Structure 1
């Protein structure tokens, strides 16, 4: 099921300074927002999320306790059943109940499908797959599920 690590997250105090730093490491900017910025490590396969934090000077930030595993779309379509057979329930994320996931995430023109759950220590885990990168002609609305997205985009 798991094919690799898709994303890692770091808290930052100064987003502009951090963008300059990671851009200087030749990472491609994927998305820039007011509180979060993503850089491609390998486009379509892995990225780094930088989260603006008022508390970045302390050793804990929620973004440190999140890992996303890359899975293929066909696996993501059946992941609810796969998790349940292991006694794991998906949890609410971005206003979408665990039962209604996988959900669609959109950062500008990058679309991903994901499902969220927790490990026994409360660490946030995610299975994610990229759907369309650099796409502008896609039907999308907040709270859209993978099934709705596939139907709306005739995929």
Structure 2
């Protein structure tokens, strides 16, 4: 019951914090050109999507992210040839870790994008934001909020 009350309290007017690890060769040019994404989205440029590790993704959650999007180039357009394929392995390994930790796997998404198709990226990002809104705040955020409230009441 208490957990449900916390979830209701925390999800009212909830705007999820989204971290997007974006490939320098695909999504970053879109982000750099548009520059008017909502402030609750943090873009982190990486040289190659294949360089992201599960540790980076888990750290994003630890620092308060509600969802993480791995935005890499399309497999056939990878500047580093195998980076986009390696991102699939990273995603699969992260999904396993998230299941072990009790997170919803939908909090992490992998997408392949082209710098020449910004509308496709924006649509995928908006769709991901809606998924995270439905899931509500990250379990880590809920736990931190409850712990802070408990400590404040002592």
Indicate whether the TM-score tops 0.5: no
Question: Under a length normalisation based on structure 2, what TM-score does the superposition of the two structures give?
Answer: 0.27
If asked which structure has higher relative contact order (CA below 8 Å, sep 6+), I would say 2
Q: Higher Cα Rg: structure 1 or 2?
A: 2
Question: Under a length normalisation based on structure 1, what TM-score does the superposition of the two structures give?
Answer: 0.27
